[in-house]
């Protein structure tokens, strides 16, 4: 276990490789389009405008500063879902490279998460800037802790995506399972509505929803300046431990022969 952490997640060279692959992938992704990197922001901005309109004007969700609330939640949810959706095929799609070069099998998965992190941060800055201009963005002192919580999200996400990418060649059904889980998560996690609108029993149950643990503490910190409670910190640690243990077992059992299943 120590070797996995040392050779992968704590290796400076590994992250240099990931960043380079992410940069080149972004170039391929947006290089073909006319508007280029404008699409980094255009797509989420459109989603936020329509979600904001439907939930505040049609469904009458009452929360202060709703555009900022939607932005923080929707962008983070998009970051998580896009990373998962594009990562589980990372090994299968790059198998011809993995068969010819002795590179870490998680390289493409991690770089995909970093690529989506870049898209997330760019969108957050630009859309946040637009909302700020229109006077709907508040700043809180506690926001200085945001990078720590974002780092936590990225770590959990990378480990989860690596796990899925190892399982996928053995069990392609996992793509449908992920699709279904993400669809459910989109509605049971309070990203379009405030947590206070959930029934008490559902709020308690949310501690077993990994998307709730990933998204809500971070977005409440940005939106309201509230630091996560002690219980939430315990839940966050529990989730990290759980995803790492699953990753460790999956890697140990399945990673060795994965090359033959792609």
Partner 1 sequence: MSHIFLKNVNVVGIDATKRVNGLKNILLGRSKGSIIGSYVSILQNISLNIKSGMRIGILGKNGSGKTSLLRTIMGVYPQKNGTVDVKGTILPVLDLSAGIKMELSGRKNIKLLFLYTGRLKDYNIDIEAKIIEFSGISKDKIDMKMKNYSSGMCARLIFSAIIFQHGDIALMDEAFATGDAEFINKSYKYMEKKWNDVDIGITISHNVEEIRKLCDYCYIMENGKISNEGKTNEMIQSYNNTIHLL
Of the candidate residues 101, 139, 176, 201, the single one contacting partner 1 (CB under 8 A): 101
Point out which span in 97-105, 130-138, 180-188, 232-240 binds partner 1 (CB under 8 A). Answer: 97-105
Nearest to 87 by CA among 21, 136, 35, 186: 21
DSSP structure class, residue 89: T
177 binds partner 1 (CB under 8 A): no
Exposure on the CB side of residue 224, measured as CA atoms within 13 A: 14
Nearer to partner 1, 36 or 129 (CB): 36
Secondary structure letter of residue 55 according to DSSP: I
Return the number of the residue (231 or 256) whose C-beta is nearest partner 1. Answer: 256
Q: Which 3 state secondary structure label does DSSP give 171?
A: coil
Counting contacts by CB under 8 A, is residue 20 touching partner 1?
yes
Minimum CB separation of residue 36 from partner 1 in Å reads: 14
Which of 54, 97 has the CB closer to partner 1? 97
Using the rule CB under 8 A, give the single segment among 9-17, 75-83, 126-134, 144-152 that binds partner 1. 9-17
Work out whether 257 is an interface residue with partner 1 (CB under 8 A).
yes
242 conformational bin, left if phi > 0, alpha if psi -120 to 50, beta if neither: alpha
* Nearest CB to partner 1, comparing residues 12 and 35: 12
* Rounded least distance, CB 3 to partner 1, Å: 15
Of the pair 145, 261, the CB lying nearest partner 1 is at 261
Residue 93 binds partner 1 (CB under 8 A): no
For the record, the structure tokens of 78 come out as 């998009």
CB 96, min distance to partner 1, A = 4
Counting contacts by CB under 8 A, is residue 143 touching partner 1? no
Q: Tally the residues of the chain.
A: 262
Q: Tell me whether residue 223 is exposed, middle or buried, using C-beta atoms within 10 angstroms of its C-beta: 0 to 12, 13 to 18, 19 or more.
A: buried
Interacting residue with partner 1 among 2, 59, 102, 199 (CB under 8 A) = 102
Question: By three-state DSSP, how is residue 80 classified?
Answer: helix
Distance between terminal CA atoms of the chain? Answer: 25
Question: Is the Cβ of residue 99 or residue 144 nearer to partner 1 in the bound state?
Answer: 99
Is 189 exposed, middle or buried, given 0-12, 13-18 or 19+ CB atoms closer than 10 A? Answer: buried
Q: In sequence order, what are the residues at sequence separation of 6 or more whose Cβ sits closer than 8 angstroms to the Cβ of residue 191?
A: 73, 74, 76, 77, 215, 219
Sites of contact with partner 1 (CB under 8 A): 13, 16-17, 20-21, 24, 27-28, 31-32, 96-103, 256-257, 259-261
């Amino acid at each position: 276990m120590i070797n996995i952490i040392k050779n992968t997640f704590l290796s400076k060279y590994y992250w240099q490789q990931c960043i380079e692959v992410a940069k080149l992938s972004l170039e391929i992704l947006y290089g073909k389009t006319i508007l280029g990197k404008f699409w980094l922001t255009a797509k989420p901005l459109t989603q936020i405008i329509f979600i904001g309109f439907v939930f505040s004007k049609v469904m009458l969700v009452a929360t202060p500063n709703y555009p900022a609330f939607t932005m923080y939640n929707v962008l983070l949810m998009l970051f998580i879902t896009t990373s998962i959706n594009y990562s589980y095929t990372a090994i299968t799609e790059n198998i011809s490279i993995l068969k010819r070069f002795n590179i870490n099998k998680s390289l493409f998965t991690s770089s995909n998460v970093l690529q989506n992190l870049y898209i997330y941060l760019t969108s957050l800055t630009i859309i946040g800037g637009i909302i700020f201009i229109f006077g709907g963005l508040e700043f809180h002192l506690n926001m200085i802790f945001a990078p720590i919580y974002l780092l936590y999200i990225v770590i959990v996400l990378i480990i989860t995506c690596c796990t899925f990418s190892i399982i996928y060649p053995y069990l392609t059904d996992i793509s449908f399972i992920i699709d279904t889980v993400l669809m459910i998560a989109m509605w049971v996690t309070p990203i379009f509505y405030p947590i206070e609108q959930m029934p008490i029993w559902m709020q308690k149950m949310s501690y077993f929803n990994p998307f709730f643990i990933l998204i809500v503490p971070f977005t409440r910190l940005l939106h309201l300046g509230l630091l996560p409670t002690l219980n939430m910190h315990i839940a966050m640690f529990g989730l990290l431990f759980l995803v790492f243990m699953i990753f460790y077992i999956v890697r140990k059992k399945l990673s060795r022969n994965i090359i033959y299943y792609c």
